[in-house]
Amino acid sequence: MRIYAILVEPEKPVNLGLIARLCENFEIDELRLVNPSLKERDWEIAEIFSSHAVNRVKKAVIYRSLDDALKDVELSIATSAIYRERGKNISRRAVELSELPKLISGIKVESIAVVFGRESSGLKREEIEKCHVLLTIQASNKYRTLNLACSAAIIFYVLRRIKKREKRTRILAKKEVREKLIEYFEMLAEDALNNKNKAKMAKKAFSNVMHRGGIGYREATLILGVIRSTLKKIGLIR
């Protein structure tokens, strides 16, 4: 399993340097940066704070968009300090960090990316929706927001333990299969509900359940077959 750390528009060189060091500490395979908002001097500061992991800063891969950074990733995990157990905002329904080992254990996944937002404002809603899972760390209700590097350290530690300890036998359904399943489910929901907004919410809820359960290849193809047959019968696809 390869693990990627993705920073979306990082703004503070100190955090970049510390996270580069953490990537070395916890054997993160690659550091990816999406449109970094850093000047030449900032890169120098990042290298200073990376300590003996200067190479991690120099070898960080820069992308123009989050879509590009996620292109080769099987399971993407967005991070946020905002946690919703209930409520209408389906895209903000998060998995708590303590649940992550259960979510990943028992499945074989080739690549995982953890996506961190801007220091000033975090990830935008549309960026969260590009990811398969939303992850949060339950800190004190009085002050929930962790420093970016601190949250990265905690998550990287948990991921390294999972990578070293867990035996994965079940193969996670390929991203293309999962995306097709979600696409077909949305078509079915739109036809059944006759309401695009409700269908969109239903699609997100379906995606949340599917990715939290770590749907296997056999499960996904069976469900996909049922939905495809249904869509054919009602004339939505050929």
Contact between residue 155 and residue 119 where contact means Cβ atoms under 8 Å apart: no
- pLDDT at 86 (0 to 100): 47
Under-70 pLDDT residues of the chain: 83-93, 106, 166-170
Q: Specify the CATH class of 2-170 in words.
A: alpha beta
pLDDT value at residue 175: 86
Render the burial of 150-160: b for 16+ CB within 10 Å, e for the rest: ebbbebbebbe
Q: What is the pLDDT of residue 67?
A: 97
Instruction: Give the residue from 6, 11, 111 showing the smallest Cα distance to 63.
Output: 6
Give pLDDT tens digits for 98-142.
999 888 876 788 899 999 999 999 999 999 999 999 999 988 888
pLDDT at 87: 46
- The per-residue pLDDT for 168 is 56
| Whole-number pLDDT of residue 40 | 93
H-only helix segments in the chain: 13-25, 40-49, 54-58, 66-70, 100-104, 125-129, 148-165, 175-193, 196-212, 217-233
pLDDT of residue 85: 52
Indicate the pTM of the whole model: 0.77
What does the domain layout of the chain look like in residue ranges?
2-170, 175-233
- Dist CA 199 CA 185 (whole Å): 9
